[in-house]
Structure 1
Amino acid sequence: MITVDEWERLVSSALVGTDRRPVPDLLGQAAAHTVGARAGQRLHRGEPLPAASPEEQPPVPRAAGERVARILDGEQPRLLAEWLEAAAARRYHLPPKLVPRVLDHGVRDRSLRSPIGVLAGARGRWLAELNPSWAYLLEEATAHLAGTGLLTPSGGAIGTGGATGSPGDEEPDDGTHHFWAFGTRGDRLSYLRSLRAADPARARALLRRGWEKESPEDRAAFVHAMAEGLSMADEPFLEGALDDRRREVRSQAADLLTRLPESRLGRRMAERAARCVRLSGDRLQAEPPEACDGDMERDGVRARAPGGTGQRSWWLQQIVAHTPLAFWTESFDRTAKQIVALNLGEWAREIRLGWERAAVLQNDPVWARALFAVEPLTDLLAVLPPGERADKAAELVHDQPVDGQLIMMLGGVPAPWGEALTKAVLEKILHTAGRQPWNLGELVRLASERADPAMHEVAARLSPEPPVQEVAATLRFRFDMLAELEAHP
């Protein structure tokens, strides 16, 4: 490598000219120096890295590993999430050569991190300690262990002396405090959800400890996460959250308290509803509030109406949406179906929208069923039991054209679709292929990813039309994919 003195001599020669100060191969020496400078420091003797711990989980079966490699290479890439979830449910670990590629997917897509936390295994955690981009895996694995009971809610491993929890709001131990203090928002949220599933009281204690120091965005997200394991034990905390200075936090707290009919908010909303809406014969008469006072805003009622909506109608809609549904059946002494069939008067739209929102918030299938018969909304469909949801979806597929509303409705029906819905969608694809083939993309995608993969032969026999065969091919791919994961390693 050229020394500083030598470099200065080269610069001097370049400035005065090689005729006056000759230097053999000036440009070559200058280039060599530049490359050497850019190469950085001289190499020093390094310390060997510690070896990764032995894998305790079984490896994925060979055929399954080959298939996920094909998915990562671009064959049916949309099925990666399904493969990861299915493999993680069987507690396999990935082939070592695929771990870095899968970890990179977790960097880009947070929804994949939970199954990756299982599948990456000991080698994945070893790699995550060396690459900051993959550090999410260390916390994701911890969250997974907490959720499955392999780690106690306080952060200690079962059988190692870690706290095991108790009914009260005890303070979590220092290990959890460290994790909670230094994790990212997404990682902390994942951990909180797992902790809520394992021990809601400890999760609530964790939130209480530093609640005022959390950002408004974090407070809103953490309140939303309390939906897991929600009970009246959470009511005092959520009632306190209604005093938060940020509207988003108050709104999330009000939505959860609406799911608790005995909550103080539920009683206050019922009192407001009684003043606003009354039954007169077979007709409802409504008188929306004249103003949105501070108490209403504290309870999650937004004062400013969306564009195109009157303020009073907006306030009425929100009051109805946060009123316990049992209030209406008890006050009017009628069933949900009978109440929905009443003449709702001039404020019918606001009242019905409020009931629809209430049915979703309170996860009430009786009200959802009654309201869905009047207006088949996707949100209401999601509240119904899975079998009934699929049957009603199949009826709508027969009756509706392929449009955004149909796609949205089908998007609310989780996989795997049963035989009736799958056949209805396949027939709709076949019917539409000859008339509007350009309108089939989303419907084909949903059928391919949501239908029961065991239906691949039914789809293949139905028609040689390309859209139908595309669904059949994807279903066959998924069928083989899941079968390979069932094989013994």
Structure 2
Amino acid sequence: MRATAAAPDTPAAVPWEEVVTVALLGTDRRTPPWLPPGREAPRALLDLAAVKTVRRRAGLRPAPAKPRPEPAAADPRPPLPPAAARRLAMLLSNRPGTAGGGRRGTAPDLMELLPQWLALANERGFAAPPEALPALLDAARGRTDLRPAALAFAGPRALWLARLNADWRFALRSAPGGGSEPPPDETDRIRQLWQEGLFAERVALLGALRARRPAAARALLTTTWATERAEDRLMFLDSLRTRLGSADEPFLEQALSDRSRNVRATAAELLSALPDSALAGRMAERAVACVAVDRTRGEPTIVVEAPHQCDAGMERDGVVPKPPAGRGERSWWLGQLAEAAPLGSWAARLGGRTPEEIVALPVADDWRGELHAAWCRAAVRQRDTGWSRALLGPPSAPDAGGPGAVSLAERAKLLSTLGAEERADWVAGFIAAHGLSEAFQLLGVCATPWAAPLGRAVVDALNIARDAGSYPWSFSGVMGLAERCLDPVEATRLDALTGIPDETEDTSPGAGSYWAEAFQRLTTTLRLRAAMQEELGAVPPDPRPV
């Protein structure tokens, strides 16, 4: 028997698009004739939509299967010990919130321990468990500070997953060539990636090549330099900071004539970090001409005659002619000349004095702050430890600063030029003399875990603040740093501080219980860090054959 076609006004003949339209408008606004009137209309519409959905899915023809993706590259590193794998899962799945009122309770902040765990796992050479990779990539996606360590730990499987999930594409941008960097000897592939790759891939490729073969990276950059956009030239030029040397001077000298002011300024900064460069010599000649020692006063005194103009030669060498708001032109020009001049040129100009003797000289006419600030910037740029020590002065100096350090930021930068042990000793002495009120920024430049003298100085200062009934929340930043940076062996010493201290009339309300919570959290976190280290064990042997 031949089937008869359904009438147009019956539900079976209603097109799918019409069903969707009625559902979007609502049956109270539009009730077509193929639906019952009244309160039954919504139910009938949903029944019809369900039937048509089944029909549409059942009527689809299966498409040809796509080729299977190539397997991820093998990871030769040994797997994590079971206890460490469980700890990683805990760190990735737990993120305690902060309670109201600024109080965090006694539970450790596990997400803040994840960077340290990743550093330990990478140091010991373990491979990430495959089942942990999605959560690890999600964590790295939300925190850029995690990405280098997380991607190093995740290994080649992370790049394989990133090609399949757009949310993880940052992993491809963070690896040279999207994880497919050509070997150093394949120059044709390197050149092709440089010419055809995405901007992020090119930046990563240039940085990686610069770290291994500085001359090859510079030569690659010159092949397209003239055709690059100004903002791209600036980013590429910044890669020359890695393994900067005298061989880079000719290229940087040419960049001093670049049409972009930012590119010219960066080139001049890099050249000034090379004490033997021609630019450094020109800046030294200009700077020392502005400074002399006046011996006619009661004691030798530095006198300053700042530049009266900024000529074309100064501009080409990176001096910015227009000062920022609130700065005088002459002091602005003097500061730029002094910070770009090699620090070694000042001894001859100022009577063969040492950096300590130069910094100790009085400076006439209120030029001391400007001159010392410029020397601070020069010491950081040129990584001159002798001048850094002189400008820092002893940590116990009055007013929480040395003779040349003009701010906490300057002191932190000067400290970064010193070795880890010397840096920690200086900051420990600073805390012992001045307390913790200004130490947070200085603690941030110290190597972790903190050396024993620095750790003891921080704990002693926290204890003093606790006993004095100080307002506890003002030390929350230092306490957070201590949780991440204090050596776990200090946990036993801290047990005595976990009780609630007696409150006096001068104590801030609730301070005692807050301090008890903070020290309980600190000791718990330190013991957790100790357990993390034990779970990861010693550095495993290299699995590659000898």
Relative to the length of structure 1, the TM-score reads 0.85
Residue 177 (str. 1) matches residue 192 (str. 2): yes
Mark the CA change 1:372 to 1:4 in structure 2 (over 3 Å): closer, same or farther: farther
Q: Determine if contact 1:189/1:221 at 8 Å carries over to the other structure.
A: yes
**Partner residue in 2 for 1:345:** 364
Q: How does 1:222-261 map to 2 (within 5 A)?
A: 222-261=236-275
Deviations 1:414-470 (A, max 9, x none): 212111110110111112232121211101011121222333333335554433333
The answer to whether the Cα contact below 8 Å between 1:429 and 1:468 also exists between their aligned partners in 2 is no
| Residue of structure 1 in register with 2:521 after alignment | 470
**Is 1:91–1:118's contact at 8 Å kept on the other side of the alignment?**
no
Q: Which runs of 4+ in 1 moved over 4 A?
A: 2-20, 23-26, 33-43, 138-146
What secondary structure, in the 3-state scheme, does the structure 1 residue paired with 2:193 have? helix
Pairwise CA distance, 1:353: 0.8
After TM superposition, list the pairs within 5 Å mapping 1:52-451 onto structure 2.
52-73=72-93, 74=95, 75-138=109-172, 140-142=174-176, 155-156=182-183, 162-163=185-186, 172-178=187-193, 181-185=196-200, 187-281=201-295, 282-332=300-350, 333-346=352-365, 347-373=367-393, 374-376=403-405, 377-403=411-437, 405-433=438-466, 434-451=469-486
Return the alpha-carbon distance in structure 2 between the equivalents of residues 24 and 366 of structure 1: 83
Letter in 2 for 1:407: F
Write the distance in 2 (CA, Å) between the matches of 1:37 and 1:232.
74
Distance 1:298 1:479, change over 3 A: farther
Contact 1:463 1:469 in 2 (8 A): yes
Q: Which residue identity is paired with 1:173?
A: D
Secondary structure, counterpart of 2:293 in structure 1: strand
| 1:166 matched residue in structure 2 | none
8 Å contact kept, 1:117–1:144: no
- Residue pair 2:376, 2:404 contacting (<8 A) in 1 also: no
Residues 176 and 204 of structure 2 are in contact (CA less than 8 Å); yes or no, is this contact kept in structure 1? no
Q: Which amino acid aligns with 2:138?
A: D
Q: Conserved in 2, the CA contact under 8 Å of 1:378 and 1:412?
A: yes
Q: How far, CA to CA, are the matches of 2:412 and 2:33 in structure 1?
A: 81
Within 1, Cα distance between the matches of 2:459 and 2:89? 30
Amino acid at match of 2:198: G
Distance across 1 between alignment mates of 2:449 and 2:202: 31
Residues 270-329 of structure 1 deviation map (CA, whole Å, 9 limit, x = unaligned):
111132112222222211111223322222222222222212111111110100000001
Pick from 45, 50, 61: which aligns with 1:27? 45
**Residues 162 and 171 of structure 2 are in contact (CA less than 8 Å); yes or no, is this contact kept in structure 1?**
yes
Higher Cα Rg: structure 1 or 2?
2
Indicate conservation of the 8 Å contact 1:58/1:92, yes or no.
yes
Distance in 1 (CA, whole Å) between partners of 2:242 and 2:231 is: 19
RMSD of equivalent CA atoms: 3.3
* Whole-Å separation in 2 of the counterparts to 1:34 and 1:487: 63
CA distance in 1, matches of 2:179, 2:64: 38
For residue 481 of structure 1, what is the aligned residue in structure 2? Answer: 532
Deviations 1:114-148 (A, max 9, x none): 323332234323212212332343464557999xx
- TM-fit CA distance, 1:481: 1.3
Provide the C-alpha distance between the structure 2 equivalents of 1:294 and 1:46, rounded to a whole number of angstroms. Answer: 68
Tell me, which stretches of 5 or more residues in structure 2 are unaligned? Answer: 1-10, 23-29, 96-108, 394-402, 406-410, 500-515, 541-546
| Greater relative contact order (Cα < 8 A, sep 6+) | 2
Deviations 1:53-100 (A, max 9, x none): 443221122111111211112252112122222212333211111101
Say if 2:172 and 2:178, in contact at 8 Å, map to a contact too.
no
Equivalent pairs counted in the alignment come to 466
8 Å CA contact retained: 1:140, 1:191: no
